[in-house]
Amino acid sequence: MQRNLRDHFEAAVSDDPGFALDGMAQAAIVEGSRLRRRHGWLAPVGVAAGLIAVIGAVTAPRLLADAPKSADSPVTVAAAMMPVTAPSCWREPVDRDATDVVIYLTDVTGEQLSLLRELLHGDPGLAALAFESREEAYSKFRTRWATNPDLLAAVTVTDFPAAFRLRLQPGTDFPTVRARYENAAGVDRIVGRRCATDAPVGGVQ
């Protein structure tokens, strides 16, 4: 009868869409290297501690070797200009099932901007809406990289896009939202993130 229960669980995963695994290892290597650089060995230790205690198969873990590296320094100006994902969001943007969205604008006219604002205000799929001007984006950048004069010298306010930040109502389908706005005049690109409810609207800091 135990066998029978097992079969139920097997059947429950029978619609596995079978995402490719070969890309997964590569992506994990890239992301894992980044994690290791950022945290040294500290981060995974908390996860492992309990297992080590019970399974007891591991020789003394290197608890405090390789202290965490100091502040992140970006490789390029473009990387430094990237908005920072809020801590309570998934680290990478998502293509579907987003809870929060940022609509980046290009050189938008005043008229296009108010049209877009009107559309967004009337959209029942949104739970919250905020606007960030390029001045605000630039000022955040200056605060964040205040100790890095090279970066500050490399960009001006016009390098930053203005953006709308949205929080979707629970159940609102992100691809639909994206399709609705991505071709609107003045829209450059649309980025979705998956966030906890305490994240800032849009999922970026």
Interface contacts to another protein, rule CB under 8 A? 1-2, 4-6, 8-19, 21-22, 24-29, 31-33, 35-36, 39, 41, 43-45, 47-48, 50-52, 54-55, 57-59, 61-62, 88, 90, 94, 96-97, 170-171, 194, 196-198
- Is the CB of 11 or the CB of 75 nearer to another protein? 11
- Is the CB of 163 or the CB of 191 nearer to another protein? 191
Minimum Å distance from CB 102 to another protein?
19
- Is the CB of 74 or the CB of 87 nearer to another protein? 87
- d(Cα 51, Cα 44) in Å, to the nearest integer? 12
The residues with which 204 forms a beta bridge, in sequence order, are 85
Minimum Å distance from CB 205 to another protein?
16
- Is the CB of 6 or the CB of 189 nearer to another protein? 6
Coil/strand/helix, residue 73: coil
- Report whether 192 contacts 178 (CB < 8 A): yes
Sort 40 into a burial class: Cβ within 10 Å, 0-12 / 13-18 / 19+.
middle
- d(Cα 166, Cα 130) in Å, to the nearest integer? 6
